[in-house]
Amino acid sequence: MATKLPTVAIIGRANAGKSSLFNRIMRAQQAIVAREAGTTRDNVIGKARHGQHTFWLVDTAGLKPAEDEFEATIQEQIAEAADAADVILVAADSTEYPNDEDRRVAKTALKSRKPVILLLNKTDLRGSLPDGEFRRLGIKTIIRTSAEHNTGIHELLDAVCTEIPIIHDKPASDIVKVALIGRPNVGKSSLFNTLAGKQQAIVANVAGTTRDLGRITLGYHGHKIELIDTAGIRRQGKQAVGIEKFSVLRSLQAIEEADICFLLMDVNELNTQLDQRLAGLINDAGKGLVLVVSKWDAAIGKDAYTRDALAPQIANTFDFVPWAPLIFTSSTTGQNVTKLFDLALDIHARRQQSTKTRILNDMLQRAIQAHPPAGLKNSHPKLRYIVHTDTNPPWFVVYGSNLKFVHWSYKRYLERQLRDAYNYTGTPIKLSFRDEKQIKSNRERAAKGLEPVTKAYKRTKETKRHSC
């Protein structure tokens, strides 16, 4: 079963309203996953849902006019969007007649043989041109939109979803998927090749879904492990306008698809902000994480005490993921390479481990007795019971009352108690809090055909804000 989420790219010349369309779609769906600065403006990537469909949505930088210094990269950007995307949305300003740039964008999009939808944006403005003026672009499907007034957005999403499959976020599989993540030249491909040579038997060698994702499925101690090699992510401001725009998207796809991520760091260039950011993305995605220091054989000034000195420094830098194991490797000498397989299988087993509700609730009551949660006057949180609801990542839900007053530090405290009770080394765990009174209220409102309290409250706030 395919696990790669479909990709939808919005392309077009500058000021066509691409960012407004992106923001309108994402505001109605899910939060933004990542923002990566490009050389012209921010590239924005988000995961959107519509009905049963989930897909990556990419907002690209506006195409520059011919006399611009980036003229040579315009075709690269369009071609890369067409190559990476499953559906291409060509945005055009409905108040302006199509020009040479619009025609060039449309021609390249159609040449990709991917589904192409023409969005005539800003149709709410006076002077909006009829569809007939744009049919000469050759795109059959035309949807009139207004990001400002939310016109045509639902029709647009329906049209997109007819072109993409329904992909479930967590397909059942007995293969442990491991992604190699990191900046360029930190040794990902070398480690990929070394790991491929250390396995007991090669099960399959499958080409990647994109040209810079390498894949191989291995057999190790009776388990199948799929390795995913990704292109390096450059730091902000150093991403090229053309092909490298989508390296972030592809790494995000690899993170989303993987069960466990190996974050590689060059031993001679440690503790960079981008490494921290990548670790944060892996943590937010709920994936297993191993911090891998590569090129240990080439460490400058290495002696018997170097590792002992570096380990605390790295741990301090990544203190927001204290559960992630740290390992020093060398693809050249093979040092600790095989241990990565063992680490991956151990982490995968911990993510799958089952718990007993009685033991969990005994742990919760002991934690409350030792350190009761603080709150406001007459509004103290009451934590009644806890249940284990999911794996990959391990997910726990706490039920009680006044839970909105639970401080983030107390959530950290509960997480530490869970980690002491069960060994969750190498994986994040997620905690949710559900207020029993609110659940009961929402059920009563649903029986009356009313919206849940939280949604009604948010909508009331939005109505007040717009009326001011």
* Numbered residues of the known binding site for GTP: 59-63, 121-124, 182-189, 229-233, 294-297
Q: What b/e sequence results for 285-302 when a residue is b if at least 16 CB atoms lie within 10 Å of its CB, and e otherwise? A: bbbbbbbbbbbbeebeee
Q: Are 361 and 386 in contact (CB under 8 A)?
A: yes
> Is the bond into 393 cis (omega within 30 degrees of 0)?
yes
Q: How far apart are CA 292 and CA 328, in angstroms?
A: 6
179: left (phi over 0), alpha (psi -120 to 50) or beta: beta
Q: Are 272 and 183 in contact (CB under 8 A)?
A: yes
Residues making up the chain, counted from first to last:
468
Q: Which two tokens stand for residue 359?
A: 């033991």
What type of residue is 307? R
Beta bridge partners of 49: 54
Q: Are 23 and 10 in contact (CB under 8 A)?
A: no
* Numbered residues of the known binding site: 59-63, 121-124, 182-189, 229-233, 294-297
Q: How far apart are CA 218 and CA 61, in angstroms?
A: 39
Beta bridge partners of 228: 179, 215
Using alpha carbons, select from 428, 432, 410 the residue that is nearest to residue 419. Answer: 428
What distance separates the 2 farthest-apart alpha carbons in the chain? 74
Question: Which residues contact residue 401 at a Cβ distance below 8 angstroms, ignoring those fewer than 6 apart?
Answer: 381, 382, 384, 435, 436, 437
